[in-house]
Amino acid sequence: MATVELLFSALPEHVRTARLVAAAVARRAGVDEAVLDEVRLAVGEACTRAVGLHMSNGVDSPVKVSLIEDEKKFSIEVGDEAPHPRFSLPGGGRGPRPAGGGRVEAEGALLPGARDEIPEPVADEDEGDGEMGLAVISGLVDDVEVSADENGGVIRMSWPTTPEPVLP
């Protein structure tokens, strides 16, 4: 199971709590101090997007954040339970999965099956629909994977915990 799991009601005021918890667990897992700001921002964006999806779809269930400490990396999964109809394939199958164990390059592989919908960097309105949040995540995190189907979506991100030693 995850090192730490967090379930929170899909309300904006709880996103900060998720950021604080994620950053604390990441620090303890050995994520470099210089990267913690990125972890904090990325998990905040992912949670903000999930909260927005739950609220706009009238989903009552909580947003789930899994913080997973492995030997050499620290992973975060943010899961929503909002339906993503555009990701469903004929017959209700899941969207295509990237080959090679799931690790994908962020750029161009974001939103599998929906590449034409990669967001413009500038939001059209004050109220974003989470697409600028995805753009921020893909710009920040090297190892990120976004998947979704009619039952919900997951954003998976990871960071190394054993940075290469810097020689003088």
Partner 1 sequence: MDLSLSTRTVGDRTIVEVGGEIDVYTAPKLREQLVELVNDGSYHLVVDMEGVDFLDSTGLGVLVGGLKRVRAHEGSLRLVCNQERILKIFRITGLTKVFPIHSSVDEAVAATD
Selected from 33, 116, 127, 164, the binder of partner 1 by CB under 8 A is: 127
* By the rule CB under 8 A, 97 interacts with partner 1: no
15's enclosing H/E stretch is helix 15-29
Selected from 6, 29, 44, 62, the binder of partner 1 by CB under 8 A is: 44
CB-count exposure of residue 58 (10 Å: 0-12, 13-18, 19+) = exposed
The residues in 106-125 that bind partner 1, with binding defined as CB under 8 A, are 121-123, 125
Residue 55 carries which side chain, given as an amino acid letter?
M
* By the rule CB under 8 A, 133 interacts with partner 1: yes
Q: Tokens for 116?
A: 């034409």
Which DSSP state fits 126? S
* By the rule CB under 8 A, 21 interacts with partner 1: no
Report the interface residues with partner 1, using CB under 8 A: 12-13, 15-16, 19, 37, 40-41, 44-45, 48, 51-52, 121-123, 125-128, 132-133, 135-136, 139-140
